[in-house]
Amino acid sequence: MNFQKAQLAAESGRITQERLRKQQRSFLSKQQAAFAGAGVRLTGSPLQVFADSAAELEFDMMIEDFNTRVAVLNAQTSGQLDILRGQQARNASIINAGTTLLTQTASFVRSRNKSNIPTTTNPFASSTVREIAAGQSLINR
């Protein structure tokens, strides 16, 4: 979802920047026409006014570009955080499931031991294994 917001922020920024470029061209054209209509040549102070206007409009473009980049990065960061939160939630659910399984198994074993019912037979508890464990040799038999 946030990655889509990042794409939308980028597209919105591009559209806004294009709109600002059109406004910039229109404003500068009108300013140039006004100077020409007044018989002013674009030298000296009028040229400086024209250049200052162009610089101010370019600065506005830079601010818009910066704001767009910040919005995109914010949305991308939020998206990455959402992914991490999802992974943490998944891991927590796995741990909780394992804990529940172990708790239930332990409860089952305790309940079986309390009722003195053998839970399983040990295949290694044969007399041969007990003799070997006690140090008796199979050869001495």
For 38-77, b where at least 16 C-beta lie within 10 A, e where not — what string? eeeeeeeebeeeeeeeeeebeeeeeebeeebeebbeebbe
Give the per-residue pLDDT at 133.
Answer: 56
Residue 138 lies in a domain: no
Give the per-residue pLDDT at 89.
Answer: 94
Domain hosting residue 114, numbered range: 2-132
Task: List the chain pLDDT tens, one digit each, 141 residues.
Answer: 677 888 888 888 888 888 888 888 888 888 888 877 888 776 778 778 878 888 888 898 899 899 998 988 998 898 899 999 999 999 999 999 999 999 998 888 888 877 655 555 555 555 555 565 555 555 555
Residue 29 lies in a domain: yes
Q: Is this structure's pTM higher than 0.75? A: no
Residue 100 lies in a domain: yes
Residue 140 lies in a domain: no
Residue 139 lies in a domain: no
Distance separating alpha carbons of residues 82 and 60, to the nearest angstrom: 33
Residue 141 lies in a domain: no
Distance separating alpha carbons of residues 57 and 30, to the nearest angstrom: 14
Residue 70 lies in a domain: yes
Residue 75 lies in a domain: yes
Closest CA to 61 of 86, 90, 28: 28
Domain count, the chain: 1
